[in-house]
Amino acid sequence: MPELPEVEIIRRGLEEKIVGLEIKNIEVIRPKTFQGDRKNLWGKKVLNVWRRAKMLGIDLTSDLTLLFHLKMTGQLIFEKGKEKIIGGHPTEDMLGPMPNKSTVVIFSFDDGSHLYFNDQRQFGWVKVIPTSRIEAEEKKLLGELGPEPLEKDFTWQVLKDNILKRKKTPIKVALMDQSLIAGIGNIYASESLFLARVDPRRLVNTITDGEFKKLHQGIVESLQTSLKHGGSTLSNFVDAEGKKGYFLNFANVYGKEGQACRGCPDKVVKITQAGRGTYFCPFCQK
């Protein structure tokens, strides 16, 4: 499932490439994925590309916004000639020619470039919404969202104040609660707890200020590392083993059960918490 960095990577790429372009056409291959009247969008210019948690918005002229949710397997691929920007759920065929068999919507711009929305399992969607109604729509879709961890005003104190709203919850589960912090999923919850050396099973009310500080650092560091290694261009992608699971190469514990811990001679273990896999080192994380 794409997490915050995967969506942020495509947002940054698109911001650079499509702001100012005009939508020439929208081809809807899977009608259920596209909610709205595509005719309203012809000739509209791109004003802005933004992200909130794991949703991506493209603001257009005439008070229109395209709101994307990539869900489990959504990916967005921008192509202009040989240039390619890729974001979202990683697959082997995302490197190949577009469109492919998982393409559900194609946006064409006035400079000859295209944006492909691909989705193997087809839970993702894109909606046309009046820009002025985005906030209300966000609340409806996602409920109240916590602060964005990459914003400047996200301090360790903000983290602590928000997380402490769930005192009797294991810290890993609380980190993934979108109403406490926006956009942290399974990967970055596990990774940040490893960096902070905190056992994911500990209840929120046992975490000390010193640990909240380390956890805050760990969240920011793991997201930034992923953004750095996620790569926003094809050339970054095909680098080394980047092709497979580009966002997992940097991981310390996520997906590494049974492998040696990077901090000690012990092995990483996997447990299940609230139905999701948690990876950690029982020796390093207390």
C-alpha Rg value of the chain to the nearest Å? 20
Catalytic pick among 99, 137, 276, 282: 276
Name residue 158's beta-bridge partners: none
Q: At what angle do helices 209-230 and 156-163 cross, to 10 degrees?
A: 110
Upper half-sphere CA count for residue 196 (Cβ side, 13 Å) = 30
- Is residue 276 among the annotated active site residues? yes
Catalytic pick among 11, 17, 51, 54: 54
> At 225, phi and psi to the nearest 5?
-60, -40
CB of residue 61 to Zn ion, shortest distance in Å: 53
Residue with smaller CB distance to Zn ion, 136 or 264: 264
- Is residue 138 among the annotated active site residues? no
Q: Which of 272, 203, 208, 259 is nearest to 281 (CA)?
A: 259
Residue with smaller CB distance to Zn ion, 221 or 239: 221
Catalytic pick among 3, 8, 79, 191: 3
CB of residue 24 to Zn ion, shortest distance in Å: 54
Residue with smaller CB distance to Zn ion, 147 or 263: 263
- Is residue 160 among the annotated active site residues? no
CB of residue 26 to Zn ion, shortest distance in Å: 50
139 membership: H or E segment, kind and range = helix 134-142
Distance of alpha carbon 47 from the chain centroid: 22
202: alpha, beta or left? (left if phi > 0; alpha if psi -120 to 50): beta
Binding site for Zn ion (CB under 5 A): 261, 263-264, 266, 281, 283-284
> At 132, phi and psi to the nearest 5?
-70, -15
Residue with smaller CB distance to Zn ion, 265 or 275: 265
Output the six-digit token pair for 104. 């559900």
Output the six-digit token pair for 21. 């372009």
CB of residue 262 to Zn ion, shortest distance in Å: 7
CA-to-CA distance for 24 and 87, rounded, in angstroms? Answer: 22
- Is residue 54 among the annotated active site residues? yes
CB of residue 261 to Zn ion, shortest distance in Å: 3
Which residue numbers are catalytic? 2-3, 54, 276
